A = this chain, B = another copy of it.
Amino acid sequence: MDFSQGVPEPTLRRLPTYCHFLRRLAQDGADVVSCRQIGDALHLDPTQIRKDLAYAGMAGRPKVGYPVPELLAGVENFLGWNNTQQAILVGAGSLGTALLGYKAMDRNGVRIVAAFDTSPDKTFQAIHQVKVLPMRKLVDLVGRMQIHVGILTVPAESAQTVCDLMVQAGIRAIWNFAPVALKVPDTVIVQNENLFSSLAVLSSRLQSTFQPRTLPEEDPS
């Protein structure tokens, strides 16, 4: 398996899905699983799954398959879900609040240790057990706790300003929910999460089931 280019992004995106499925299998007490079984459950090609698992460093045994507990542990470990990253979140609006309430986050490699907001109505309260602090505390806290991950859930207008503050504080990876292309130094990683992109795919596919897009025709003149 060639690792020189790193793990392909599509592979990385599928691995968490395998984990979710394997957790259920493990709960049901399965001890081995084949790529065929995983593929049937997740509507994916077995060969692709085998390749993805190989990227994650997991090997199976011909005729037998993969041992479920080891496979799950191995993939989780590969994804870094064992040594959880600490993170801060900026923007305690409705989306920010939702992420703070996502219990599953912990089991998926990220723990939000503090939130920040400009609104005095929100600061010094706790949302889902996470303290909300005023922005002026950000740089100090990130520095002291050596936090590397920032989650950005502020409106588009303030996204770049907050981003700059995060970078200044020492944040090295930003999970960005604002529909804006952030400018960052190239030492900082930005992962954009654009819900509307996904929605666009949905509604476009829906529209084409109603009235399939017409093919361009020859000019009849």
What is the interface of chain A, defined by CB distance below 8 A to chain B? 1, 3-4, 6-7, 9, 12-17, 20-21, 41-43, 79-80, 85, 93-95, 97-98, 100-102, 104, 108-110, 128, 148-149, 156, 172-173, 175, 179-181, 187, 189, 191, 193-209, 213, 215-216
Contact = CB atoms under 8 A, between A and B. Distances in A.
A163 to B, nearest CB: 14
Contacts of A175: 198-199, 202
Contact of A216 (B3, B195, B209): B3
5 contacts: A13-B200, A16-B200, A95-B98, A110-B199, A189-B202
A199 to B, nearest CB: 6
3 smallest beta-carbon distances between A and B, as pairs: A94-B101, A98-B98, A191-B202
Contacts of A16: 179, 194, 196-197, 199-200
B41 A79 contact: no
Given A41-B181, A172-B206, A189-B205, A102 B95 contact: yes
B109 A7 contact: no
Contacts of A196: 16, 104, 108
Contacts of A12: 197, 200-201, 204
Chain multiplicity (copies) = 2
Contact of A110 (B149, B201, B203): B203
B204 A80 contact: yes
B215 A202 contact: no
A16 B196 CA distance: 7
Contacts of A179: 16-17, 20
